[in-house]
Structure 1
Amino acid sequence: MMGPRRRRGRGKRTRMTTGIGAVLGRIGRQVWARAALYTIASVVFALAAGAVGTLVPFRVVVDLGQDSVGTILQIIASSMLTVTTFSLTAMVTAYSAATTTATPRATQLLIEDRTSQNALSTFVGGFAFSLVGLIALSTGYYGEQGRTILFFGTLVMVALIVVTLLRWIAHLSTFGRMADVIDRVETAALRTLTTHAESPTLGARRFTELPTGTSAVRGDASGYVTFIDIAVIERVAARADLGVYILALPGSMVDARTPLVATTAPLEDADRAALIRAVRVRPHRDYEQDPRLGVIALAEIGSRALSPATNDPGTAIDVIAALQRVFETVLSCTPSDDVAHEHVFVRPVVLPDLVTDAFRPLARDGASVVEVQIRLQKCLDALARTDPERSAVFRTMAATAYERSHAALDEWDVGDLEQTYRATSGRLP
């Protein structure tokens, strides 16, 4: 997508994670993984108080009063169960609101929200800590010193719960709102597109035309390509001493008849299976490696806001502003010429496809809304001026949007649109 640039990209270059690191990263973004980790840590913390009490060479005993620790743990157990239920309800409500008012493609970003995951995990961990502590107290697991250590540990847990609860309450004021959803999708689009702009071929060689005489490798699943483990493909290609051409990029829809890759020589069954496993196919698209999904999701939010049932041109204008910020940052990136995978070839996504994904829905569905069209013309003009070498892509989209809108607007609004188009493009089509 990106040609030679003179400017340096903003921020540090992001490396594409592959192999075990990618798997651990995906697991770490799941709600259940974080909650399970916090629960295990809480259980270990509660049980460790008894063991530490018998191992320390000095005595730390505080007169706590009759069953004071048990009373505090009972309060935590009952309150954390209620707070956890409330938090789950709030999270599900936010997911549902994002699905119905923004786009279902934004739901996975809300699910991966760190603040909500930490809050839910802390509440579940606090519940597990108090429950295990109560059970251990009832069985006489703690000695006198162990009860004292458990008491101080309970105070630490109470402080952690209170701080987390305050942060969670503040977070709920914006979580799942339209502005929050747009910001999250913009961040995801910017992250993936920046990575793609800096390494369009994922560290492989670039190709434009598939050479003759290659052998196609097809998978056995239908769905979207969500991840390509380029390092695994390189190892297979180097071992077999052949070239591998990636035909199905992340975001591509494939089935059992669609070639995933093509090789310059026939493969053994084990190598063929390894190549198929290196291309992950799932029922739904994912932001991790898909450079087009972020701008598609933003366009969907704007398109839905322009529907007659919603009639919210302000949201569409906010989406156009978000798209402008994304493209301005991406256009300033410097692509890397380094080739880390000598035996792998990739044909990257091109800029016209991204521009079409981002702006065609807004030009089509907002054709009869002059405010949206004026903002769209100004956005495309700004992007054309940002990158004069590829300004034709944005000028073509601006002309297309103008022609769509010119046919849909009434005579009073057409004049304002023509004035804006003359000021940005300098001419009328």
Structure 2
Amino acid sequence: MMSKWKLSLFRISRRMWFRSTLYGVLGVATALAGAAARFVLPQGLATQIGADSVGNILGILAASMLTVTTFALSTMVAAYGSAATNATPRASRLLIEDTRAQGTLATFVGAFLFSIVGLIALSTGIYGDSGRLVLFGATIAVIIVITVTLLRAIEQFSRFGRLGETVDLVEKATLKSMELRAEEPFLGAMPYTGSVPDTSIAVFAAAVGHVEHIDIQRLDALAEAHRLTVYVVCQPGTFATPNRALLHVMGTLHDDQRAQLIEAVTIGGSRRIENDPRYGLVVLAEIGVRSMSPAINDPGTCISVIGTCVRLLLRWDALACAQRDEKVQHRHVYMAQLDADDLFEDVFAPLSTDAAGSLEVNIRLQKALAALCAGCSASTREAARHHADSSLERALRTLSFAQDRQKLRAIHALEQQRAQDAASRRTFGSPAPTR
């Protein structure tokens, strides 16, 4: 997990104003760079090339870029509302932080500021003939950049905020978070799988919110300095309250040390996907649940979300199986890894509950969970079997048509048998049966 200051810089870089400010400063600097060219380039060259027309070009550019920037911003705001309505409000943050959309808007803002500053500088006469030549060349380059950006924006804004695009964004963000966590399952701390010692001292949260970041390096430094052993009993995304222990400590603990330890756990108002892969699965499940509401009733979207979650969970299973021994960097801190059953609970509990009355969705759920039952890790197989059985039980209590219940039972038995056969072939290396 990245350090606290790196995480802060990362989040600042994802703010919409950051890229626009950066591109705006670049545009202003480019417009003013021509003033220094008067001392380098020969006089009279600008007249031969026709750089005197740069003022007219900049005027057209300034007027058009103001309109295009306003249109792009209104399109993005409409896309945020569409994603919140059609998908889930929790997915809007990913659209707001999308670097492609931010880059498009920032390019238009930078081009607008470039043209405005260029016009102002031209009116003051600071360029001279050589400076106008440089400004003319920079203007041509800016026009090329704008043209390429506009062509890309046509494709981008035609899909931006749509349900399928939003699901893809959530999937990519969740996969990246999973891969980062798989590199350090214990965040560089010592692993522990059991319960904390009974004689340990609990350190409770000082605020109400979700755990956004755990500074393991800071905890290790404090533990080493005060001769402590720290057990982290929370994960990024854990809901913290003043009566919820986030840490357990072995050793003599004073009040000032307790305050220093709890400051290493950052608590915020909302969860973030970048270091909380479970939250990505929660967002996907919310999209699937919303699609099954009576007002929408779109089983196809729910089925698509199930397929997305299966891809992510199979990838997580593969990463867990390929996991090498993690290099322990912080030997005074102990932490548990993510539990596979929690990942399954985040996805399949809400989906199977809200889609219990839909036969087609339940069939896909059984097939999806059967695919996960053939995973390579025992925890994945156990969690998948548990949720396959519980999903079947929910559906049988909800479906009113007897033939639907009979069909779902048969599919459940068939898919579980296939999963068991696939797991056996993987374990013993026997060839697949021929037909």
Q: Normalising by structure 1, report the TM-score.
A: 0.91
Instruction: Give the distance between the partners of 2:246 and 2:383, measured in 1 at CA.
Output: 29
Which of 347, 352, 370 lines up with 2:359 in the alignment? 370
CA pair 238-205 structure 1, distance change in 2 beyond 3 A: same
Mapping 1:65-144, distance limit 5 Å: 68-144=53-129
Once residues 364 and 171 of structure 1 are traced to their aligned partners in structure 2, the CA distance between those partners, rounded to angstroms, is 35
Rounded to whole Å, the distance in 1 between the matches of 2:351 and 2:262 is 37
The unaligned stretches of length 5 or more in structure 2 are: 419-435
Quote how far apart the aligned CAs of 1:416 are. 2.3
Report the secondary structure of 1:292's partner residue. Answer: helix
Judged with a 3 Å threshold, the aligned counterparts in structure 2 of structure 1 residues 388 and 217 are, in CA distance, closer, same or farther, namely closer
1:307 is displaced (CA, Å) by: 0.8
- Give, in whole Å, the separation in 2 of the partners of 1:360 and 1:66: 67
* RMSD of equivalent CA atoms: 2.0
When residues 66 and 246 of structure 1 are mapped into structure 2, their CA distance, relative to the original with a 3 A threshold, is: closer
Aligned to 2:371: 382
Instruction: Report the CA distance between 1:45 and its aligned residue.
Output: 1.0
In terms of mean alpha carbon deviation, does 236-245 or 373-382 score higher?
236-245
Cα deviation for residue 382 of structure 1 reads 0.7
Counterpart of 1:27 in structure 2 is 12
**Deviation for aligned residue 1:184:** 1.2
**How far apart are the structure 2 equivalents of 1:304 and 1:362?**
10
Greater percentage in helix: 2
SS of residue matched to 1:244: strand
- Contact 2:363–2:408 (CA under 8 A) maintained in structure 1: yes
5+ long unaligned stretches in structure 1: 1-15
The one-letter amino acid of 1:387's match is C
Matching residue within 320, 323, 326 for 1:335: 323
Matched letter for residue 242 of structure 1 = L
Q: Distance in 2 between matches of 1:330 and 1:60?
A: 66
Secondary structure class of the residue paired with 1:25 = helix
Alpha-carbon distance in 1 for matches of 2:82, 2:253: 49
Among 387, 391, 396, the alignment partner of 1:406 is 396
Question: C-alpha displacement at 1:336, in angstroms?
Answer: 3.9
Which one is further off, 352-361 or 259-268? 259-268
Deviation at 1:267, TM superposition (A): 4.7
Partner of 1:44: 29
User: Residues of 1 paired with 2:255 and 2:283: CA distance?
Assistant: 39
- Counterparts of 2:257 and 2:100, CA distance in 1: 42
- Looking at structure 2, the residues matched to 246 and 60 of structure 1 have their Cα atoms a distance apart, in angstroms, of 72
> In the aligned structure 2, how far is the partner of 1:220 from the partner of 1:420?
50
TM superposition shift of 1:132: 0.8
Matches within 5 A, 1:166-315: 166-207=151-192, 208-267=194-253, 271-315=257-301
User: Once the two structures are superposed, what CA deviation does each residue of 1:206-233 show, in whole Å capped at 9, x if it has no partner?
Assistant: 2221223333334432211111122222
TM-score normalised to the size of structure 2? Answer: 0.89
SS at match of 1:260: strand
Q: Contact (CA 8 Å) 1:247, 1:262: kept in 2 or not?
A: yes
Q: 1:125 to 1:267 in 2, by over 3 A?
A: farther
Matches of 1:59 and 1:343, distance apart in 2:
70
Residues 19 and 231, structure 1, Cα contact 8 Å, conserved in 2: no
Instruction: Name the CA distance, whole Å, in 2 between partners of 1:232 and 1:220.
Output: 17
Q: Which moved more, 1:257-266 or 1:226-235?
A: 257-266
Cα pair distance change 1:66/1:298, threshold 3 Å: closer
> Equivalent of 1:319, from 289, 305, 308?
305
Give CA deviations for 1:301-334 in whole Å, capped at 9, x if unaligned: 1111011111000000001100110111111112
Question: How far 1:246 sits from its partner (Å)?
Answer: 1.5
Asked if the contact 2:24/2:113 (under 8 Å) is kept, the reply is yes
Cα distance 1:29–1:217, how it changes in 2: closer, same or farther (>3 A)?
A: same
Once the two structures are superposed, the pairs formed by residues 156-167 of structure 1 within 5 Å of their partners are 156-167=141-152
Q: Cα offset for 1:277? A: 3.2
SS at the partner of 1:412? helix
Q: Quick check: 1:199–1:336 contact (8 Å CA) kept in 2?
A: no
Alpha-carbon separation, structure 1, partners of 2:122 and 2:255: 59
Of 411, 425, 428, the residue aligned with 1:420 is 411
Q: CA deviation at 1:342?
A: 0.7
Q: Confirm or deny: 8 A CA contact 1:98 1:176 kept in the other structure.
A: yes
Cα offset, 1:366, TM superposition: 0.6
Bigger shift: 149-158 or 253-262?
Answer: 253-262
RCO higher in structure (CA 8 A, sep ≥6): 1
Q: For the Cα contact (< 8 Å) 1:19–1:232, is it kept in 2?
A: no
The amino acid that maps onto 2:405 is V
Deviation at 1:378, TM superposition (A): 0.5
What do the CA deviations read for 1:87-125 (whole angstroms, capped 9, x no partner)?
Answer: 111111111111111111211111121210100000000
- Equivalent position of 1:393 in the other structure: 383
